[in-house]
Amino acid sequence: MKPRVLHVIAGLGIGGAEMALFRLVASSRGGDYSHAVVALTSGGAMQQRFDEAGIELVEFDFKRAPISQFFRLIALMRQRRPDIVQTWMYHADLLGGVAAWLTGNRNVIWGVHSTSVRSGGTSGFTRVVQRLCA
């Protein structure tokens, strides 16, 4: 059985992390790993590309119902039992990392793709999330 990788990303807008995730998963099809993607927010310009490529995608609505969606993420991780959880960007690093830890998965890879770590280009909430992830 192939090792299962569950990728957790904040959303599927057009950006560097989203493109990197798409290229990684699309180019790995039929390879040594099984991939599924969880988007913490639904929609986004990249959603159609994931769908057209046949990439397994599960969308959440963390903006509307963060607490219930967090428990849904935990339930999904318990059900799927991924071998590796790879998170992309700060919000997904925090939420996906904590959910993985709560389900007993210690194989977590965090990914931060940003040039605004120290710049004023981030919101106050994102700066709090950055501190929690540090």
Phi, psi of 113 (to 5 degrees): -120, 90
110 vs 100, more confident: 100
Q: Give the tens place of pLDDT for each residue, 64-79.
A: 999 999 999 999 999 9
Give the separation between CA 94 and CA 100, rounded to whole angstroms: 10
Task: Summarize pLDDT for 41-72 with one digit per residue, the tens.
Answer: 999 999 999 999 999 999 999 999 999 999 99
pTM reported for the whole predicted model: 0.87
Domains and CATH numbers, the chain: 4-133 (3.40.50.2000)
CA gap 33, 107 in Å, rounded: 14
Residue 76 or residue 128, greater confidence: 76
In a 3-state reduction of DSSP, which class is residue 57?
strand
Q: CA nearest 93: which of 58, 56, 128, 54?
A: 128
